[in-house]
């Protein structure tokens, strides 16, 4: 196994070729915030929270997709990155309708946690208050587009882990939204196996159990990594 040596925040690091900067940083205890990334799913670099600075490159790079390279000098927590990350979180909040006080995920929400981490005590951007629907057509689960940040974890888990491919991303630009089947009510999509993996991996309250009320969603997305690892060892089938 070939190894690459690099520097992350001044720490000398040696990592196997092909390791991402995110995995390398976490390996050596350097935290990098993420939202769309989840162990067990393919990385897509959609949220842009894990951007890092690499000396010699004018562009910020997503740590979840960038492999380590020999001699890289990486910075993960510069003032420029701090400002970028806060702006990203502010844009996510202002682009949807995130009302924590009444949300099923209040207190157990990754978006809320990231907002606290980046110090977002208010938004410098105007709220857009889009008019978005709620889909309660599924017998067990609900989808509130107001709380969706388009991380596509649900799309990936349904396709890559459950194999049902119920979810996709429809439309373009500001009209982008998660769609079930061929843009049908979720409850009308026969492909759905009611497994609930999408609800479990959703970082916000966008996907939820219909029985849950404010603050009652306690999803544990990290369990997905364990499931995928177990499958790889042939220990579990679903």
Partner 1 sequence: MARTILIDPVTRIEGHAKITIQLNEAGAVEGARFHVVEYRGFEAFCEGRPFTEMAAITARICGICPVSHLLAAAKTGDRILAVTIPPVAEKLRRLLNLAQITQSHALSFFHLSSPDFLLGWDSDPAKRNIFGLIAADPELARGGIRLRQFGQDLIERLGGRKIHAAWAVPGGVRTPLDPTDRDAIRAQLPQAFATTLAALQRFKGLLDGPLATEASTFGCFPSLFMGLVGADGRWEHYDGQLRLIDPDGTVLAEALPQQRISEALAEAVEPWTYLKFPYFKPLGPEAGSYRVGPLARLNVCERIGTERADAELLELRERGGRVVTSSFHYHLARLIEILAALEAIELLLNDPEICATHVRAHAGVNAFEAVGVSEAPRGTLFHHYRVDANGLIEAVNLIIATGQNNRAMNRTVTQIARQWITPGATEISEGLLNRVEAGIRCFDPCLSCSTHAAGQMPLHVQLIGPNGEMLQERWRQ
- Binding positions for partner 1, rule: CB under 8 A: 101-102, 133-134, 136-137, 139, 142, 144, 187, 210-216
- Dist CA 104 CA 92 (whole Å): 18
Least CB distance from residue 204 to partner 1, whole Å?
15
- Nearer to partner 1 by C-beta: 18 or 185? 185
CA 199 vs. chain centroid, Å, equals 13
* Under 8 Å between Cβ of 189 and 181: yes
Least CB distance from residue 223 to partner 1, whole Å?
23
- Nearer to partner 1 by C-beta: 59 or 194? 194
Least CB distance from residue 41 to partner 1, whole Å?
28
Least CB distance from residue 131 to partner 1, whole Å?
9
- Nearer to partner 1 by C-beta: 67 or 187? 187
What does DSSP say about strands 141-144 and 73-75: parallel, antiparallel, or unpaired? unpaired
Least CB distance from residue 147 to partner 1, whole Å?
12
- Nearer to partner 1 by C-beta: 42 or 213? 213
- Nearer to partner 1 by C-beta: 66 or 146? 146
What does DSSP say about strands 177-180 and 207-209: parallel, antiparallel, or unpaired? unpaired
**Greatest alpha-carbon span in the chain:** 54
Kindly state the DSSP code that residue 101 receives in the 8-state scheme.
G
Kindly state the DSSP code that residue 212 receives in the 8-state scheme.
-
* Under 8 Å between Cβ of 43 and 66: no
């Amino acid at each position: 196994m070939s190894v690459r040596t690099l520097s992350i925040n001044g720490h000398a690091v040696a990592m196997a070729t092909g390791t991402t900067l995110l995995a390398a940083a976490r390996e050596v205890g350097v935290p990098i915030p993420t939202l769309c990334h989840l162990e067990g799913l393919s990385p897509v670099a959609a949220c842009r929270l894990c951007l890092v600075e690499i000396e010699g490159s004018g562009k910020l790079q997503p740590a979840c997709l960038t492999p380590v390279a020999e001699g890289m000098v990486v910075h993960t927590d510069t003032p420029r990155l701090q400002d970028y990350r806060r702006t990203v979180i502010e844009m996510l909040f202002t682009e949807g309708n995130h009302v924590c006080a009444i949300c099923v995920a209040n207190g157990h929400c990754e978006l809320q946690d990231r907002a606290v981490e980046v110090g977002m005590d208010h938004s410098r951007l105007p709220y857009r208050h889009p008019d978005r629907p709620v889909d309660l057509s599924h017998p067990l689960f609900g989808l509130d587009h107001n709380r969706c940040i388009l991380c596509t974890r649900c799309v990936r888990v349904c396709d890559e882990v459950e194999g049902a491919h119920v979810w996709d991303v429809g439309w373009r630009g500001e009209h982008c939204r998660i769609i079930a089947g061929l843009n049908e009510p979720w409850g009308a999509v026969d492909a759905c196996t009611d497994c609930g993996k999408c609800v479990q991996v959703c970082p916000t309250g966008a996907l939820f159990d219909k029985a849950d009320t404010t603050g009652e969603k306690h999803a544990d997305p990290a369990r997905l990594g364990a499931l995928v690892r177990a499958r790889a060892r042939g220990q579990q089938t679903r």
